[in-house]
Amino acid sequence: MKHFINPSDVKNVQELVKAGLAQKANPLSHQHLGKNKTLGLLFFNSSLRTRLSTQKAAINLGMNVMVMNVGSDGWQLEFDENVIMNGNKAEHIKEAAPVIAQYCDIIGVRSFPSLTDKKADYEEQVLESFRKYAGVPIVNLESATRHPCQSLADLITIAELKKTARPKVVLTWAPHIRALPQAVGNSFAEWLNLTDYEFVIANPEGYDLAPEYAGKAKITHNQAEAFAGADFIYAKNWSSYKHYGQILPGNEDWIVSAEKMKLTNQAKFMHCLPVRRGLIVEDAVIDSADSVVIQQAGNRVWSVQAVLKEILEGM
Amino acid sequence: MKHFINPSDVKNVQELVKAGLAQKANPLSHQHLGKNKTLGLLFFNSSLRTRLSTQKAAINLGMNVMVMNVGSDGWQLEFDENVIMNGNKAEHIKEAAPVIAQYCDIIGVRSFPSLTDKKADYEEQVLESFRKYAGVPIVNLESATRHPCQSLADLITIAELKKTARPKVVLTWAPHIRALPQAVGNSFAEWLNLTDYEFVIANPEGYDLAPEYAGKAKITHNQAEAFAGADFIYAKNWSSYKHYGQILPGNEDWIVSAEKMKLTNQAKFMHCLPVRRGLIVEDAVIDSADSVVIQQAGNRVWSVQAVLKEILEGM
Amino acid sequence: MKHFINPSDVKNVQELVKAGLAQKANPLSHQHLGKNKTLGLLFFNSSLRTRLSTQKAAINLGMNVMVMNVGSDGWQLEFDENVIMNGNKAEHIKEAAPVIAQYCDIIGVRSFPSLTDKKADYEEQVLESFRKYAGVPIVNLESATRHPCQSLADLITIAELKKTARPKVVLTWAPHIRALPQAVGNSFAEWLNLTDYEFVIANPEGYDLAPEYAGKAKITHNQAEAFAGADFIYAKNWSSYKHYGQILPGNEDWIVSAEKMKLTNQAKFMHCLPVRRGLIVEDAVIDSADSVVIQQAGNRVWSVQAVLKEILEGM
């Protein structure tokens, strides 16, 4: 694996899930692999889990880590080509990326979408610019349209918990007060489609994910139908893809409730976090024994550790 | 020691002071104790001494350290139970604490008081929530009502400098232009009360510390009386506990002056820093040979190193 | 070398250039030199290259590193003497510097000029206060009037690329939309004057650097004349020294263009970065094979690594 930006960078998703479970079983097994190698973590946006779990994974692999909040620690970056840089952006990605690569063997980048420029967002301008100009491996720490470190952790979590070979996995939209990216929903769908699990996406009308991400999933606008017999309920809010970046009126009743969970096959409750209690999910659900959100967050270490390990092995 | 949140977490304060002095004498004596252990430092508020001294102590113990400014690097946290999270707080402590504990063996937390909600502040909502939900040892890096790493460093400093077995130690309120927490004053009092030193607290009327912190100390509103024959003058401002969080008019003459220091038994001048020169203390005092504020700040390393060492030994 | 604040701290500039090249050839040759030594990096201002390259160099030398954004992580600092601190500055450098030195063996400091108080800026109040009060070696990570880590990297780059013993090196002013410090220009001039290269400074009228920095350089207000036969074109904007901190009207035509580069002896194009494309330099120049800005940025590691190595050897 050269980069880890989207699933097409991955040779074999199931092998990567197994590698994550192996790292979890033996966290320090490859502690010499990253010796004298440096990981740079660039945050254009807030991060808790990704920030800490990626540092932890790199430490487990013996790497050095340098963390930077790009906008506040450094300079605003320009990504458009052939512009006269007379605005508030002091540095072009054509310099910034290769410069950072002078100091880092691998670069992790988090950059949320604008939610206003659908084209730039879905072309993954920021991550693909790093890929194009840096010259070193790039790890996607959540981009405009994807969050593959999260999705791999999700697959690891399902692999640990599933009771049948082909569980029914439901991704359900849930309400929020802010316009959020589609990245986690897109990415979970994209990765689930690489398994043979039964996969259903439930969301209100107007909230269908982009078809290239939803892929072969069954899509329904009936949440109860989706929940029936489910083994995993994965809740997440996203803003509309069709009415790009907007929150459509209504749909507050899409909260994941204890009542709705009764429809499932005693499903495990999943969420990538942070989660808004009382909007996305009732306390009774997330506080129940079937909530696995902490285990899921813990698996973020093993997900990115498997990714970094494979990149290091290929260097 | 499991946690280090308040003195009741400590088995034997005098032994901890000795452990701090032993770490100072031999900083790298336990460099293998923290190997492959990770300390997470969470700052809800500004920090210089605590930020750097705690990192340094952890490094001396061979630990890895991850530092995070919670609000700006990550998300605003909710601490109230059973709320609908439709405000500006994106994550609940019930998730945040156990998630961070997935990545850290020990968590240090700094969180100042609101100074508006006396009940929440004095119940130590933030630190006690971390204790309740994280599941790993918590170190208090200054909480709403206490600053035990500072107080332990203060006891170490007094132990180094005292010329008699039972010195007279005076905690004196001093003026400031901003409403400051009572934490350092409370905590110094709480810890001094665990020694057999002669202990006097001098403050203007209306500024008495909470009785449970002042404890057996002699309280006076006459600064000159307190200074008479003192071996240590510990200056600190705090806002009113009675008129919670307020600055009461007057009292600018409570500055620690060279003139007042003449009343003492050539007392050492102490302050936790940062200190406002010209408000809290005259330049002539803090620049004198009897000022020990830098030594005191240096002892912050050995204070927290003794704490981390004891926690690590108990894991 | 005790400190690295200005060239007078350096015994032999040519030896330091050689030391940088030696570190580049063998980055881990002195990995044990910094063992159990801690470098503190204090940023009063934004930084990308300096932030990352200095961490990288310290890691290569086996040091521990602690990074702090002074104003936002900690407290605003007061540098004036004998003041009543009743403003927004919570801590005096007379405490902050020696306190930080309790935790760090070497301290790196970045602090830009006010561009309003010429006297304080050119007296290097911030860096010289750290030198005066810290008691440990201080490394200048760009101060009010100098950027010696950059200048040393520039000399290393020229040493690598020059085709003749005495190349013609041109420092040319170029346009910008913001008022920038004179530090990089000053410093480049100061260091070039320590070589025997042919050195020309080209800038519009009103933009002459301070004479003590320009030194023996030939100064011209005719850019084309300067470019003729040049081996290195070093572009940089700075605000006026004479009309202190101001941007004078006009001079947009001072952009480094492909057309002007034709006047040179196929000169290498240099800039310290970040650079504004379309203002300072045309895309055609910075994207050409003769642009060495990335190599130059990469040499920031070896520059500061040579400096830290020499300081560590002297401790």
ipTM: 0.97
Q: Which residues of B touch C (CB under 8 A)?
A: 28, 43, 46-49, 51-53, 55-56, 59, 69, 72, 177, 273-279, 283, 286-287, 293-294, 297-298, 300-301
Q: Could you report the per-residue pLDDT of C57-67, keeping only the tens digit for each?
A: 999 999 999 99
**Contact at CB, B275 and C91, closer than 8 angstroms:** yes
CA distance A87 to chain C (A): 8
> Residue B120 phi/psi, 5° resolution?
-60, -45
Position C57 scores a pLDDT of 98
Nearest CB neighbour to A103, from listed C52, C277, C283: C52
Q: Could you report the per-residue pLDDT of C182-196, keeping only the tens digit for each?
A: 999 999 999 999 999
Calpha distance A257→A270 (Å, rounded): 13
Mean pLDDT of A77-91: 95
CA distance A27 to chain C (A): 23
Q: Scanning the structure block, which residue is given the tokens 């660039």?
A: A42
Q: Which residues of A touch B (CB under 8 A)?
A: 28, 43, 46-49, 51-53, 55-56, 59, 69, 72, 177, 273-279, 283, 286-287, 293-294, 297-298, 300-301
Report which of B310, B254, B311, B259 is spatially closest to residue B288, judged by C-alpha positions.
Answer: B259
Position C176 scores a pLDDT of 97
Under the banding of pLDDT at 50, 70 and 90, the label for residue B66 is very high
CA distance C130 to chain B (A): 15
Mean pLDDT of B289-308: 98
Express as a percent the part of chain A with pLDDT over 70.
100
C299 to chain A: closest CA residue: A102
Calpha distance A142→B48 (Å, rounded): 31
Calpha distance C59→C61 (Å, rounded): 5
A180 to chain B: closest CA residue: B90
Report which of B266, B70, B305 is spatially closest to residue B164, judged by C-alpha positions.
Answer: B266
Residue A7, pLDDT > 90, answer yes
C70 to chain A: closest CA residue: A73
Residues of C in contact with B50 (CB under 8 A): none
Nearest CB neighbour to A177, from listed B72, B75, B86: B86
Position A51 scores a pLDDT of 97
Report which of B15, B195, B210 is spatially closest to residue B123, judged by C-alpha positions.
Answer: B210
Residue C74, pLDDT > 90, answer no
Position C72 scores a pLDDT of 86
Position A71 scores a pLDDT of 82
Mean pLDDT of A93-104: 98
C286 to chain A: closest CA residue: A95
> Residue A65 corresponds to which amino acid?
V
Mean pLDDT of B264-281: 98
Centroid of chain to Cα A163: 24
In this structure, what is the dihedral angle of CA atoms B261, B264, B267, B270, given to the nearest 10 degrees? -50
Q: Are B232 and B170 in contact (CB under 8 A)?
A: yes
- Per-state percent for chain C, helix, strand, coil, to nearest 5: 40, 15, 45
Residues of A in contact with B82 (CB under 8 A): 283
Calpha distance C178→C268 (Å, rounded): 26
**Contact at CB, A43 and B73, closer than 8 angstroms:** yes
Mean pLDDT of chain B: 97
A45 to chain B: closest CA residue: B73
Residues of C in contact with A92 (CB under 8 A): 275, 277
Based on C-alpha coordinates, what's the Rg of chain C?
19
Mean pLDDT of chain C: 97
A67 to chain C: closest CA residue: C52
Please tell me what DSSP assigns to residue A255.
S
A71 to chain C: closest CA residue: C46
Going from the C-alpha of C294 to that of each of A50, A96, C270, the distances in angstroms are 29, 9, 9
Residue B72, pLDDT > 90, answer no
Position A313 scores a pLDDT of 98
Burial of residue B32 (CB within 10 Å: 0-12, 13-18, 19+) is exposed
Mean pLDDT of B69-94: 93
Map residue A268 onto helix, strand or coil. strand
Calpha distance C137→C264 (Å, rounded): 41
> Residue B57 corresponds to which amino acid?
A
Residue B101, pLDDT > 90, answer yes
Centre a 10 Å sphere on the Cβ of residue C222 and count the other Cβ atoms it contains.
9
Calpha distance C139→A194 (Å, rounded): 52
Nearest CB neighbour to B74, from listed A48, A53, A294: A48
Kindly give, in sequence order, each residue whose CB lies less than 8 Å from that of residue C120, ignoring residues fewer than 6 positions away: C114, C144
**Contact at CB, C100 and B47, closer than 8 angstroms:** no
Express as a percent the part of chain A with pLDDT over 90.
98
Helix (H) or strand (E) segment spanning residue C13: helix C13-25
**Contact at CB, B92 and A273, closer than 8 angstroms:** no
CA distance A206 to chain C (A): 41
Nearest CB neighbour to A85, from listed C49, C55, C279: C279
**Contact at CB, B278 and C84, closer than 8 angstroms:** yes
Mean pLDDT of B5-17: 97
Residue C220, pLDDT > 90, answer yes
> Residue C170 corresponds to which amino acid?
V
Mean pLDDT of C41-66: 97
Mean pLDDT of chain A: 97
Residue C112, pLDDT > 90, answer yes
CA distance B124 to chain C (A): 23
Q: Could you report the per-residue pLDDT of A204-249, keeping only the tens digit for each?
A: 999 999 999 999 999 999 999 999 999 999 999 999 999 999 999 9
Top pLDDT among B239 and B71 is at B239
**Contact at CB, B73 and A51, closer than 8 angstroms:** yes
C67 to chain B: closest CA residue: B52
Mean pLDDT of B231-237: 98
Q: Scanning the structure block, which residue is given the tokens 């070979």?
A: A165
Map residue B215 onto helix, strand or coil. coil
Task: Choose the mutation target among A35, A95, A104 for the interface with C, i.e. most C CBs under 10 Å.
Answer: A95
Residues of C in contact with B52 (CB under 8 A): 40, 66, 68, 100, 103-104
**Contact at CB, A287 and B94, closer than 8 angstroms:** yes
Q: Could you report the per-residue pLDDT of B193-212, keeping only the tens digit for each?
A: 999 999 999 999 999 999 99
Q: Could you report the per-residue pLDDT of A292-309, keeping only the tens digit for each?
A: 999 999 999 999 999 999
Residues of C in contact with A82 (CB under 8 A): 283
Nearest CB neighbour to B68, from listed A52, A273, A274: A52
Going from the C-alpha of C221 to that of each of B216, B302, C170, the distances in angstroms are 77, 59, 12
Report which of B115, B145, B142, B183 is spatially closest to residue B46, judged by C-alpha positions.
Answer: B142
Under the banding of pLDDT at 50, 70 and 90, the label for residue B81 is very high
**Chains meeting C at 3+ CB pairs closer than 8 A?**
A, B
Going from the C-alpha of C256 to that of each of A162, C283, C287, the distances in angstroms are 63, 10, 12
Report which of A67, C132, C107, C99 is spatially closest to residue B47, judged by C-alpha positions.
Answer: C99
Mean pLDDT of C274-297: 98
Q: What DSSP letter does each residue of C229-298 carry, written as one string?
A: T-SEEEEE----TTTTTPPPS--GGGSB-HHHHTTSSSPEEE--S---BTTTB-HHHHTSTTB-HHHHHH
Calpha distance A156→A299 (Å, rounded): 7
Position B26 scores a pLDDT of 98
Position B71 scores a pLDDT of 82
Top pLDDT among A74 and C230 is at C230
Burial of residue A25 (CB within 10 Å: 0-12, 13-18, 19+) is exposed
**Contact at CB, C74 and B277, closer than 8 angstroms:** no
Position C75 scores a pLDDT of 87
Nearest CB neighbour to A91, from listed C69, C274, C287: C274
Residue B158, pLDDT > 90, answer yes
All domains in chain C, ordered by first residue: 7-146+300-313 (3.40.50.1370), 150-297 (3.40.50.1370)
Centre a 10 Å sphere on the Cβ of residue B44 and count the other Cβ atoms it contains.
18
